[in-house]
Copies of this chain bind each other. A is one copy, B any other.
């Protein structure tokens, strides 16, 4: 009978969490904008996700502390590999006031929306080969805290004229520029229009727009841009109590 007992055991719930469905939707939106197959590390203190996009140009790092959940309990630490496209389609079926219960067994994760009714979606856990990589150390020389609206406008303005964007932190102001084949755009953000502006050294780098455009849709309120000259950029922002870091490699001009 031992074999049967073991088989049963694998179907015990090993992770159980409860939070507002809309908060999880914001997390899913952010992850799915960059990552196709996401490795969620479920630990005592919360959930962690760090991965590179399929082309390895950008990295996303999210810490979702236990405190963001109404309830949070784990039987053992788990590693949940999730197809973000499927998760996204499901989370969009939540109603605005639904509470979400997340469970996981050995091979399956369940999202249960609890509102007027109880609707339980199951989806398979997948193998995500990628090992949890370290966050790279980048020699940033400028840290700019600003309203996400300025950043998003810059992204959208640049998208009208080009497929890349240049950020430049100078003594007096933070510049957002794009130069297309024919049209160009320059936005000047004076120091005073920024929340914080910490400049060790002037910084300037150019990036492909598509990644920034995707991630920018997840950012509300305040955000931080860390910039150096021709090094990756880091965006930091929060989704409720979750901390999000996004790193993007610069565009290198080929000679």
Contacts and interface: CB of A to CB of B under 8 A. Distances in A.
B86 A182 contact: yes
A215 to B, nearest CB: 20
A149 B187 CA distance: 40
Interface string A74-108: 00000000010010011011000000000000000
Interface in A101-158: 116-124, 150, 153, 156-157
Contact of A161 (B83, B92, B121, B156): B121
A193 interface: yes
A93 B116 CA distance: 37
A183 B118 contact: no
Given A157-B93, A182-B86, A187 B118 contact: yes
Interface in A180-198: 182-189, 193
Contact of A153 (B119, B122, B188): B119
Contacts of A57: none
Given A150-B117, A189-B117, A193-B116, A93 B184 contact: no
Given A93-B157, A157-B93, A160-B90, A185 B124 contact: no
Contact of A187 (B120, B122, B153, B182): B120
A53 to B, nearest CB: 22
Contact of A160 (B93, B156, B182): B93
A193 to B, nearest CB: 7
**Residue from A83, A89, A90, A122 having most chain B Cβ neighbours under 10 A:** A122
Nearest to A176: B119
Contact of A188 (B86, B118, B122, B124): B118
A183 B86 contact: yes
A61 to B, nearest CB: 27
Given A93-B156, A153-B119, A160-B90, A124 B183 contact: yes
Contacts of A184: 121-123
B123 A186 contact: no
Contacts of A153: 93, 117, 119
A121 B86 contact: no
A122 to B, nearest CB: 5
Given A93-B157, A156-B93, A160-B90, A183 B123 contact: yes
Given A90-B183, A117-B187, 5 more contacts: A89-B160, A92-B160, A119-B153, A121-B184, A122-B184
